[in-house]
Amino acid sequence: MNIFEAYNSTKKALEKAGAEDYVFEAKQIIKHITGFTNAQILMNYTNQLSDYQQNRLMALLKQRELRYPLQYIFGEWSFYGYDFYVGPGVLCPRADTETLIEKSLELLKDRKNPEILDLCAGSGCIGITLAKQVPEAAVTMVEKFPEAARYAEKNIVRNSADNVRLITGDIFESAGADKKYDLIVSNPPYIPENEMDTVSPETKYEPETALKGGKDGLDFYRAIIKNYKSALKEDGIMAFEVGAGEAAAVRSLFKDAGFKDTGTVNDLNGIKRVVFALL
């Protein structure tokens, strides 16, 4: 089987299995198996795969046909151009969350040596990306679960993010609220309890603790606003990723807590994905 044939049969198998982004995934898989860049694949598409590569491809597709996340199969995933270790026990970085990065970078413009707090940090993709994009920033990440924190720790090292400190602690106990921040960001668990069974087959392999946001999905937003408002500098900002349909409710939480200006940002699918508020 040559590279081109492998790509086509991978695409077909993924589509049949119901994988949403089967074209993108097929490309990623061929790159992973061959170790080639996009350009090398284009130049060498008639190359034969070795037996070893074919066996790996078959094994990988078998897992993927069970809808096991491709991110977990690879053990790493790219987010905002940086590479992160991921695996069972930690939420996979998602393209939607890059909206939160874009908005945060815009909000941080003109701030000197900003202090940033990333709550429910998981793999650390948000905090580490901000730390790399704003090298003079000091970033604190808080993650409750040791399984997830281990990924964050490895990702700090992998990305040489020397300006990040990681705290294993609970946002319901105000972990990390020991100093004042310019920006507090979070992509907390936000799926309402009764919608947990509607998540994709891939998400069913991800930790429930990274997904379930209480009865109405808003438990973590309430807790963060309540526990961390006093950890903001005078002109501090909070910015959250929110679930589809949650933006209005989260904006009201901010208004009720006395934040001056609030706003939302759409993700690439036109869903209000980020809510931010200025103190």
Q: Would you give the DSSP letter of residue 271?
A: -
Q: Is residue 199 part of the contact set for ligand GLN (CB under 6 A)? A: yes
Pick between residue 105 and residue 199 the one whose CB is nearest to ligand GLN: 199
CA dihedral (127, 90, 155, 58) positive or negative? negative
Pick between residue 99 and residue 140 the one whose CB is nearest to ligand GLN: 99
DSSP per residue, 80-144? TTEEEE--TTSPPP-GGGHHHHHHHHHHHTT-SS-EEEEES-TT-HHHHHHHHHSTT-EEEEEES
Among the residue ranges 23-31, 156-164, 187-195, 259-267, the one whose residues contact ligand GLN (CB under 6 A): 187-195
Q: How many helices (H) and strands (E) does the chain have?
A: 10, 9
Among the residue ranges 15-23, 159-167, 188-196, 257-265, the one whose residues contact ligand GLN (CB under 6 A): 188-196
Q: Is residue 203 part of the contact set for ligand GLN (CB under 6 A)? A: yes
Q: Is residue 211 part of the contact set for ligand GLN (CB under 6 A)? A: yes
Question: Could you tell me whether strands 76-79 and 82-85 are parallel, antiparallel, or unpaired per DSSP bridges?
Answer: antiparallel
Q: Is residue 99 part of the contact set for ligand GLN (CB under 6 A)? A: no
Among the residue ranges 8-16, 78-86, 183-191, 258-266, the one whose residues contact ligand GLN (CB under 6 A): 183-191
Q: Is residue 271 part of the contact set for ligand GLN (CB under 6 A)? A: no
Count Cβ atoms within 10 A of the Cβ of residue 191 and give its class: 0-12 exposed, 13-18 middle, 19 or more buried: buried
Pick between residue 3 and residue 120 the one whose CB is nearest to ligand GLN: 120
Residues linked to residue 266 through DSSP beta bridges, in sequence order = 272
Residue whose entry in the numeric block shows the structure tokens 């946002």: 171
Q: Is residue 265 part of the contact set for ligand GLN (CB under 6 A)? A: no
Q: Figure out which of the listed residues 72, 84, 190, 259 binds ligand GLN, where binding follows CB under 6 A.
A: 190
Q: Is residue 191 part of the contact set for ligand GLN (CB under 6 A)? A: yes
The residues that touch ligand GLN, with contacts defined as CB under 6 A, are 94, 187-191, 199, 203, 211
